[in-house]
Amino acid sequence: MTSASGAATTISDLGEFGLIAAVTAGRSDAPQVLIGPGDDAAQVATPGGSILISTDTLVSGRHFRFDWSSAYDVGRRAAAANLADIAAMGGVATALTIGFAAPGDLESQWAVELSQGIADEAALVGAHIVGGDVTAADEVMVCITVIGRAGEQVVRRNGASPGEVVGLRGRIGWAAAGLAVLGRGFRSPRVVVEAHRRPEPPYDAGPQAATAGATSMIDVSDGLIADLGHVAESSGVAIDIASEAFEVAEPLVSVGAAIGVDPRSFMLTGGDDHPLAATFPADAELPEGWTAIGEVREGSGVTVDGEEYEAAAGHEHFR
């Protein structure tokens, strides 16, 4: 691939989602592939029904720092990112495989504690580590593939329609506030620092929303505006978020005041908490624990209170 100037196109030129589009272009799915790239997880047919599959990678120095998080915390966080993807499809995770790469001089106990963190997080949904691979590398990398059981209703990103309600369940903005605190050399408020180290996705909310008739759903991993943007694009609709729908918790207010930012920015653009966002028919009763935060409209893109959000919408790799 080359740019207009004739120079070779780099991954940074493409960006995360441009790269995904480039490497998947022109490929047709096999008959057993019920859902391919483009959702939180793939769905593959099996003789007894179907399974859901998703993969995520964490790299030291980019996704976590040794002086900020313990090995056990990294394990919990790595597993949570994968388990939430299965929940976002309305499924339940059952098994994980782990790819682990590290320098030879890393203390072996670090790897043991990492594995325990992964196992303990997986146990929250009844899933188990069933295999993996290890190799030498210059940096620590943790790559987890999760396999899950598909529910009767698999919920994708492309089912939203104008007039529907956007709902959210789970903690949001806390991990971003924790990252902001850690990045400035502090360790308090402790509750947001712990949220960055160890997210608490609402795993039961995925199957709950699917049963309640959710028309689309997504794991909010890169920022609410950014991830709802994927739903809007996949569904061919616009989504408007009502900022007043959010109850801003005191720890976020404290961090925002300390660093001079609107605490709602943590909630609108911060990632790594892994709440679930979904759309529901206008006449549907949102399941217990879900909060209405906006509506689906005609058009495209995501707005906040009817206006385009001026700051960055969320995280994108290579940008």
Binding residues for substrate: 63, 272
Report how far residue 80's alpha carbon sits from residue 84's, in angstroms, rounded to the nearest whole number: 6
Q: Mark the binding-site residues for ATP, compressed into ranges.
A: 132-133, 157, 221
Q: Mark the binding-site residues for Mg(2+), compressed into ranges.
A: 40, 54-56, 85, 133, 219, 222
If you search the block for the tokens 């890169």, which residue do you land on?
222
Q: Mark the binding-site residues, compressed into ranges.
A: 40, 54-56, 63, 85, 132-133, 157, 219, 221-222, 272
- Reference 164, options 278, 303, 88, 267; nearest CA is 278
- Reference 308, options 262, 247, 263, 241; nearest CA is 241
